[in-house]
Chain A
Amino acid sequence: MRTARVKYNGIIQTAIVEEGSLRLADGQLLAEENVEWLPPLEPRTVFALGLNYADHARELEFKAPESPLIFLKGRNTFVGHRGQTPRPNGVAFMHYACELTVVIGREGKHIRPEQAYDYVAGYTIANDYAIRDYLENYYRPNLRVKSRDNTTPLGPWLVDVADIPNPLNLYLRTYVNGKLTQEGNTRDMIFDISYLIAYLSEFMTLAPGDIILTGTPEGLVDVQPGDEVVCEIEGIGRLINTIVKE
């Protein structure tokens, strides 16, 4: 099942996705253009991976890491499907990042890798935009790069874990104004979903609503105001975002 959070007639509500349309609780069926889309959940703790695809690490001229490079995002950064993300004035390089996002559905600590999927509620897509100009060599990548207001699109909806039996063989693609600019497959993840859940839960209790953005493959391109950026993951859907001037 696919569930979305939308605002319609001023009311925030959950909707069920039926062939690209949205079924509200009162029975109405709406087209996706006729609602305001919110992130499919309000995330609790947000983990994101850097350098988690072997090809992407090469693109940024780093050696692939020996332990996962994890950073956190705050509450401020999420924007829903069909939203707008500001590009700060005067920066040289702002790029997208299409990421399979795992949503935790059960509390747990010391989770063994073979049990990891018992703790997964489902999946969604994140676009982990970054403003590379703001990178500094402290706590890198820092929140000024990766936790900016409205700079992490999340959506379009949440897909139940049971609907994606193999999350480690999904195509990821990004299109800028209709042109394919990024392509990869989740099988190229360096630290996979089971590993990450086991690694994090070794020292932290994970809880429902925690999410893990699992990294992005190669193909990062600068985006400019007016660009429409679509992040697509096989089996989930297409997350649309438009860049606007700050």
Chain B
Amino acid sequence: MIDPNLFKTGGSAEQSPISGLVYGPLLNDQDSIEWLGDKLLTAPYKALPKAPILYIKPYNTHVGHGAIVYLPSGVAELEVGSTLGLVFGERASQVSEERALEAVAGYTVVIDLSAPHQSLFRPPIKEKCFDRACPIGPRLVNKAELPDPDSVIITTFINDEVQHQRNLANLVRPIPRLIADVTEFLTLYPGDVLMVGVPVNMPFARAGDRVGVEISGIGRLECLIDSTS
């Protein structure tokens, strides 16, 4: 059991910097679709996803930079879902692809933590919605500071060692298309965050691990994984 005072950070670990809800798309990158391959064409899936398949990280999951995240009961490791978060500053409803970025105020780092699970058939509520399963931060960057959000590099560190790195070159729905297809049926409000997506095969973190996700132009969001007392 790690003494929480050993993990010193700036900013507020308990308070996420955003006020709204966090949404994310499943399988929004071509590498993941290819890696899963024929599995997606057989039962229970029987076809590739057509429309954006979204999930929600509810309010109890939101924490800020430097948080301690406790493993849920019976879970030994968490999948680290490193992703870019689009922070909305305006209401966005049925926006066109051409105007999609107008509603975005800026960007942040989101770590979508999940208890390990194989099936994508049912909404993974227990796996993705436990307390503190969504660190957000370390800061919000204005849109003007990051004019090419699709050119960022996302690096995942565990205990300061690089475990994963990706770019956003092969999204199924690039950012403007993602915003247009989501807001076609689901209005996003100021303060809401839309994650760009998490690929399969992300690294796992265990009790005692310090997790860092760095996005070029934004910074590094960190959290500490601990077992429940």
Chain A interface (Cβ within 8 Å of chain B)? 44-45, 47, 69-77, 109, 134, 136-144, 147-149, 202-207
Contact = CB atoms under 8 A, between A and B. Distances in A.
B131 A138 contact: no
B204 interface: no
Interface stretch (B1-9, B53-61, B101-109): B53-61
B187 interface: yes
B50 A136 contact: yes
B60 A205 contact: yes
A72 B122 CA distance: 11
A69 to B, nearest CB: 6
B116 interface: no
Contacts of A202: 73
B42 to A, nearest CB: 10
A138 B26 contact: yes
Given A138-B53, A206-B60, A207-B59, 12 more contacts: A45-B59, A47-B125, A72-B58, A76-B189, A109-B131, A136-B47, A136-B49, A137-B46, A139-B26, A142-B123, A144-B54, A207-B60
Nearest to B188: A76
Interface of B: 20-21, 23, 26-27, 44-47, 49-56, 58-60, 72-73, 93, 120-126, 129-131, 185-189, 192
A144 B215 CA distance: 30
Contact of B122 (A69, A73, A147, A203): A69
Contacts of B131: 109, 203-205
Contacts of B23: 74, 143
A202 B123 CA distance: 17
Given A44-B59, A74-B23, A204-B129, A149 B51 contact: no
Q: Which of A109, A139, A141 has most B Cβ within 10 Å?
A: A139
Nearest to A69: B122
Contacts of B130: 203-204
A76 B72 contact: no
Contacts of A207: 59-60
11 contacts: A72-B55, A74-B186, A76-B187, A137-B45, A139-B123, A141-B123, A143-B56, A144-B185, A149-B186, A203-B73, A204-B58
A74 B182 CA distance: 12
A137 B121 CA distance: 6
Given A45-B60, A74-B56, A203 B126 contact: yes
Contacts of B27: 138
